[in-house]
């Protein structure tokens, strides 16, 4: 195994002292311009990189932000990208810890704390308020995508009620009245979006039909299959992955999107933006939320204020999967009844 180049290796190759190399690497004043350039060139040629671990060990701080995410949620990877970028801007490093079927959220958080994380950003946490507050008693905790986390935990989230409202407004504006919501099961935000859909539809004197679903493609596929006997003119899915499952079920049944059924998702993930998908979706502006979460964690570490709860307004991205309803639905638009089939939550 090749030995990692040291400061002394750079010093000897550049013909200067080790102390001068240290000054250059830290960006501190004290080295002439030509000498600084020569040292940096030699360091690059040797493949020298500062040992951040050694620097941290010499310091009383780690400058590490711990981030938990769900390994089964590709959308979380998009959020993590934004977290990395903003953490670097603020001079912090990121440590990731995945939550999965064989790894609980508590274990993921404990691992981050054991690693020396100074603050936690927990993406879509499923822990109870008391458990989150227990961690917040040790380090600052920022909940990302969930806001019902108690008074002692910071939260950065999107307004689910507003997101559902713009989705329903879009579809009813196109002329849809027979709209179904495929819910997210036990996923974070599922209950809020389900309740918001019910309120928005009832506020328009339309029947709020909700069928069981979940956050994954298979959940949407099963939900789509259950619609076949009582087809709506439009579907609002819990998220983009569920919406893709619904679309595949409709396609397999010989139906077209949006000509026969309009489909609308949530998250505006990279899946929704794919050229062959072009899914209309409610965007929670997750990258911006991630930036806000990092800023909040760093501000707490630097002593600026107590816990805050920030809620942002989502926006609708209209693509190719929503359109005015077929002529058959327009003919029956004076009725608000729905044929027997889907399960209605009360």
What pLDDT was estimated at residue 346?
A: 32
pLDDT, tens digit, 9 for 90 and up, residues 203-220: 999 999 999 999 999 999
Q: Is the peptide bond before 258 cis (omega within 30 degrees of 0)?
A: yes
For the cut 50, the answer to whether the pLDDT of residue 27 exceeds it is yes
Which of 277, 279, 287 lies closest to 322 in space, CA to CA? 279
pTM of this structure? 0.76
Q: What's the Cα-to-Cα distance from 41 to each of 10, 35, 38, 130, rounded to whole Å?
A: 10, 10, 5, 53
pLDDT, tens digit, 9 for 90 and up, residues 239-285: 999 999 999 999 999 999 999 999 999 999 999 999 999 999 999 88
What pLDDT was estimated at residue 24?
A: 83
For the cut 80, the answer to whether the pLDDT of residue 49 exceeds it is no
For the cut 90, the answer to whether the pLDDT of residue 164 exceeds it is yes
- Contact, 296 vs 142, CB < 8 A? yes
Which of 155, 138, 137 lies closest to 146 in space, CA to CA? 155
């Amino acid at each position: 195994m090749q030995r990692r180049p040291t400061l002394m290796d750079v010093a000897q190759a550049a013909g200067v002292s080790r102390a001068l190399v240290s000054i250059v690497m830290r960006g501190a004043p004290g080295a002439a311009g030509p000498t600084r350039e020569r040292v940096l060139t030699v360091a690059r040629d040797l493949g020298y990189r500062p040992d951040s671990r050694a620097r941290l060990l010499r310091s009383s701080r780690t400058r590490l932000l711990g981030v938990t995410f769900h390994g089964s949620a590709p959308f979380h990877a998009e959020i993590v990208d934004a977290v990395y970028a903003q953490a670097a801007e603020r001079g912090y490093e990121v440590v990731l810890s995945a939550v999965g079927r064989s790894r609980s959220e508590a274990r993921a958080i404990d691992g981050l704390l054991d690693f020396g994380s100074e603050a936690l950003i927990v993406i879509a946490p499923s822990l109870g308020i008391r458990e989150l507050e227990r961690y917040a008693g040790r380090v600052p905790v920022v909940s990302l995508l969930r806001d019902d986390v108690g008074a002692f935990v910071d939260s950065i989230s999107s307004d689910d009620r507003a997101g559902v409202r713009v989705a329903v407004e879009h579809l009813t504006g196109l002329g849809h009245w027979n709209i179904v919501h495929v819910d997210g099961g036990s996923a974070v935000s599922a209950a809020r979006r389900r309740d918001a859909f019910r309120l928005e539809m009832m506020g328009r004197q339309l029947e709020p039909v909700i069928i069981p679903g979940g956050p994954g493609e298979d959940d949407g596929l099963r939900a789509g299959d259950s619609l076949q006997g009582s087809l709506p003119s439009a579907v609002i899915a819990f998220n983009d992955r569920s919406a893709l499952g619904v679309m595949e079920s409709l396609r397999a049944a010989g139906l077209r999107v949006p000509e026969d059924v309009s489909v609308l998702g949530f998250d505006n993930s990279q899946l929704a933006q794919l050229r062959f998908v072009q899914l209309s979706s409610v965007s929670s502006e997750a990258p911006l939320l991630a930036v806000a979460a990092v800023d909040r964690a760093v501000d707490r570490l630097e002593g600026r204020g107590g816990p805050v709860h920030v809620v942002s307004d989502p926006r609708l991205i209209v693509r190719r999967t929503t359109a005015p309803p077929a002529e058959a639905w327009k003919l029956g638009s004076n009725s608000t009844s729905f044929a027997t089939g889907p399960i209605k939550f009360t």
